Amino acid sequence: MKKQERADRVLERLDQTYPQTPIPLDHSDPFTLLIAVLLSAQCTDKKVNEVTPALFAAGPTPQAMADLDEGTILHHIRQLGLAKTKARNVKKLAQILVAVHDGQVPASFEELEALPGVGHKTASVVMAQAFGVPAFPVDTHIHRLAQRWGLSSGDSVQRTEQDLKKLFPKDAWNKLHLQIIFYGREYCTARGCNGTTCPLCRELYPNRRKPVIHRKA
């Protein structure tokens, strides 16, 4: 099976498996989505969803968040990894949104990536899910599965993103990146599948016997 055939098969199977793709991080608007994605670095979505209700109650808008003491923000997110750094970034980010962007989340990659704690993946999630702009955020699940499915070499997350964008139609990116994440959590997990176990790996590579050693992001 050629690479484009594998990509087409992946898209077909994931559309069947996950026709609906709810955003895993609880939020109510672009600002709360941005903060939730920032907080999710090196944390599970479940843990982030446990702490954000109280945080967003205290700081529901950029102005309200900017008015909070950094210590108050830290109090709400202290259960998360890198909590001190994240608290500092959330405070600074909110202040910049108020001072530079009239209290609004900017709808451009360049302006988002200029904010504290916001990298390309976070910006891509916000652009895709808050503003509907085609993007393909690559997390650890997507990076791993793209290698197992023979869709990318896995040299870097940047290379994986480029490869996937070439293989899949642009209008599928925003939904597909969530579908791959869901599948990576449910079926093709880091420990539960080595490239020979889950249904899609078996379908794409029926004769594969050796495990796939994937490169880390």
What pLDDT is recorded for position 53? 98
Eight-class DSSP state of 33:
H
Which among 11, 42, 38, 13 has a CA at the least distance from the CA of 27?
Answer: 38
What pLDDT is recorded for position 217? 61
Structure-token pair, residue 14 = 């994931």
Could you tell me the pTM of the whole model? Answer: 0.92
Beta carbons within 10 angstroms of residue 7's beta carbon: 23
Q: Which residues are catalytic?
A: 121, 139
Per-residue pLDDT of the chain (217 residues; tens, 9 = 90+): 899 999 999 999 999 999 999 999 999 999 999 999 999 998 999 999 999 999 999 999 999 999 999 999 999 999 999 999 999 999 999 999 999 999 999 999 999 999 999 999 999 999 999 999 999 999 988 999 999 999 998 789 999 999 999 999 999 999 999 999 999 999 999 889 999 999 999 999 999 988 887 776 6
Distance, CA of 200 to CA of 54 (rounded, Å) = 39
**Structural contact between residues 204 and 6, judged by C-beta atoms closer than 8 angstroms:** yes
Q: Domains for the chain: give ranges and CATH numbers.
A: 3-21+136-204 (1.10.1670.10), 30-131 (1.10.340.30)
Going from the C-alpha of 90 to that of each of 17, 58, 62, 106, the distances in angstroms are 36, 13, 9, 15
Which among 121, 134, 208, 116 has a CA at the least distance from the CA of 175?
Answer: 134
- What is the number of residues in the chain? 217
Distance, CA of 36 to CA of 77 (rounded, Å) = 11
Dihedral sign computed on CA atoms, order 181, 183, 188, 189: positive
Distance, CA of 110 to CA of 91 (rounded, Å) = 20
